[in-house]
Chains A and B, each alone.
Chain A
Amino acid sequence: MNLNRYRNELIVLVSFILMLSAFFYKNSQIDKQAQQLFEMKHSVKDFKEIIALKRIWGDKGLSKKIDKLKSIVPVSKVSWSKKGKKLTAHYSNLTPKELNKLVTRAMNLAVQIISFKITRSGDTFNVEFKCKW
């Protein structure tokens, strides 16, 4: 077959295929970008959440902040045992006001409560608080 005879058609066909390829290339890039954008948004959201959670529950300054639970009531009422990242604290003869203060402060600390016991003894309370972080 003499291709020269169809030279014009071939030129048009080749340029058309070229245009079509460029069009599909562009569209594939658009799709890719949209997909990547979606994945990125998802990843960034996850990432931010992880960082926020880590800041709360993996706070490196927590060890110092916990010491405030010791000074919240008179020293004579506290038995304090902090080993590594674990705390066992015993409080005795707490007034209702002191108990409220202790509970509020303990609840606002980002620690994992292992056990929390409150026992009434007359008009006062005894507390055992175990936590880790």
Chain B
Amino acid sequence: MGSNKELLIVHREMHPVSLDHTVNVMLTPQFYTMKQEELPVKYLYQAKKIAPSLFDGLLDEEGAYAYFVFREDDHWVFIAYEPEKIRDFLLTKGIAPEHLSKIFFAQQSRDMFKDPVVLGEKEVLMNIDGSVALVPTGILSEDHETAVFDERFTPRSGVSLSGGSTLINKKETILLATVFLIFAAVFFVEGRQYTKGLQMQEKKMQDLLSSYPSLQSKIQRDSVALKYRTIDTKERHKREIIKTLGTMIFKGVRLNTFEMNEKKFKVIFSCENSKIVKKVETLAKKAHFSVKSGKNSNIVVIEGEV
């Protein structure tokens, strides 16, 4: 059968119960209207569609009915019930919505009611010609066997009494969940594309690195970079100094000596006259070199660090 939860049979004269656990509930015909029909309908969803029309004129027009349909032998069984009224009744008997798992209809367990189930002093529930109905106890002979109602009566499918305190109805649930799931799928697909992009970038970088095996590790790259950057800076500076000193050799200036090592340089120029000396001095100072020249001497000594 469908569930291992405790199954309570609910009828109008039942005594209130006190619950601290979830239960299933089986409703007697007092709470539903039933119709059995042989219809040329194959599928349950088709039968459900036509359920309301079958009860036209049979039900209270002001009632808010829900329908439960199942197949029994070669015919369909249609049950109309009022969830709100059932919920209210269950509450009066101490069965709060949070303790209610599923509701079933006595008709679903038709075969189990071959022997009557005693509901109280006055009534029994039993199968009469294929329909489960309430019968006065008095019509049964005293030695008539009765059945014990327990979980064995639980049918496979039941109904959840949703609504009441619920904030979202079924349609809204489907709509919201669909929208959220579509967005989730879109985000996920986009995320995957970015992941693939990342992998492609990594591959490109790896390809680039693999063409220079000696530079694959960052430590090696940093070490090589430091070595060559130092050489580059120093050697460019040396050449820049030589180029600057070259601009100081013009008409009237003669190079006597030039000396450069890895730390410093020194150059001695002899000039034709003091005017040229001044010009060379100005150029040397402009280049931030240190200049020495004796008074009344046309010799200019320029020094500096490399």
**A4 vs B25: C-alpha distance when bound (angstroms):** 14
The contact string, 1 if C-beta is below 8 Å from chain B, for chain A 28-60, is 111011001100100110110111011011100
Give the size of the chain A interface in residues (CB under 8 angstroms). 53
Chain A binding surface, main DSSP class: helix
B229 touches A12 (CB 8 A): no
Residue of A whose beta carbon sits closest to that of B191 = A26
B228 touches A15 (CB 8 A): no
User: With A8-B170, A19-B181, A103-B242 as given contacts, are A37 and B257 in contact (CB-CB < 8 Å)?
Assistant: no
CB of B91 closer than 8 Å to a CB of A: no
A2 touches B224 (CB 8 A): no
Which of B166, B169, B185 meets A22, CB within 8 Å?
B185
Residue of A whose beta carbon sits closest to that of B185 = A22
Residue of B whose beta carbon sits closest to that of A23 = B187
Residue of A whose beta carbon sits closest to that of B260 = A116
Give chain B residues whose Cβ lies under 8 Å from the Cβ of A107.
239, 242-243
A8 touches B168 (CB 8 A): yes
CB of A81 closer than 8 Å to a CB of B: no
**A22 vs B180: C-alpha distance when bound (angstroms):** 10
**A47 vs B101: C-alpha distance when bound (angstroms):** 68
B224 touches A50 (CB 8 A): yes
**A67 vs B120: C-alpha distance when bound (angstroms):** 122
Residue of A whose beta carbon sits closest to that of B306 = A113
CB of B262 closer than 8 Å to a CB of A: yes
Which of A6, A22, A43, A118 meets B257, CB within 8 Å?
A118
User: With A50-B215, A107-B242 as given contacts, are A33 and B183 in contact (CB-CB < 8 Å)?
Assistant: no
B184 touches A53 (CB 8 A): no
**A120 vs B166: C-alpha distance when bound (angstroms):** 106
Give chain A residues whose Cβ lies under 8 Å from the Cβ of B139.
none
A113 touches B228 (CB 8 A): no
Name the distance in Å between A61's Cβ and chain B's nearest Cβ: 17
Residue of A whose beta carbon sits closest to that of B214 = A54
The contact string, 1 if C-beta is below 8 Å from chain A, for chain B 262-274, is 1000000000000
Give the number of A-B contacts (CB < 8 Å): 164
Give chain A residues whose Cβ lies under 8 Å from the Cβ of B168.
8-9, 12
A57 touches B198 (CB 8 A): no
Which of B75-83, B92-100, B109-117 is the interface stretch?
B92-100
CB of B62 closer than 8 Å to a CB of A: no
Give chain A residues whose Cβ lies under 8 Å from the Cβ of B177.
11-12, 15
**A29 vs B261: C-alpha distance when bound (angstroms):** 55
Give chain A residues whose Cβ lies under 8 Å from the Cβ of B169.
8
**A12 vs B179: C-alpha distance when bound (angstroms):** 10
CB of B147 closer than 8 Å to a CB of A: no
**A23 vs B186: C-alpha distance when bound (angstroms):** 9
Which of B30-38, B230-238, B295-303 is the interface stretch?
B230-238
A9 touches B180 (CB 8 A): no
Give chain B residues whose Cβ lies under 8 Å from the Cβ of A22.
183-188, 191
A110 touches B191 (CB 8 A): no
**A119 vs B257: C-alpha distance when bound (angstroms):** 4
Name the distance in Å between B240's Cβ and chain A's nearest Cβ: 10
**A123 vs B257: C-alpha distance when bound (angstroms):** 13
B22 touches A2 (CB 8 A): yes
For the A-B complex with A6-B166, A50-B221, A53-B228 known, give 16 more contacts whose Cβ atoms are closer than 8 Å: A5-B97, A5-B166, A12-B173, A16-B176, A19-B181, A22-B188, A23-B187, A26-B187, A26-B191, A53-B229, A56-B232, A112-B234, A113-B238, A114-B261, A116-B261, A117-B257
> What residues of chain A have their CB less than 8 Å away from a CB belonging to chain B?
1-2, 4-9, 11-12, 15-16, 18-19, 21-23, 25-26, 28-30, 32-33, 36-37, 40, 43-44, 46-47, 49-51, 53-54, 56-58, 103, 107, 110-120, 125
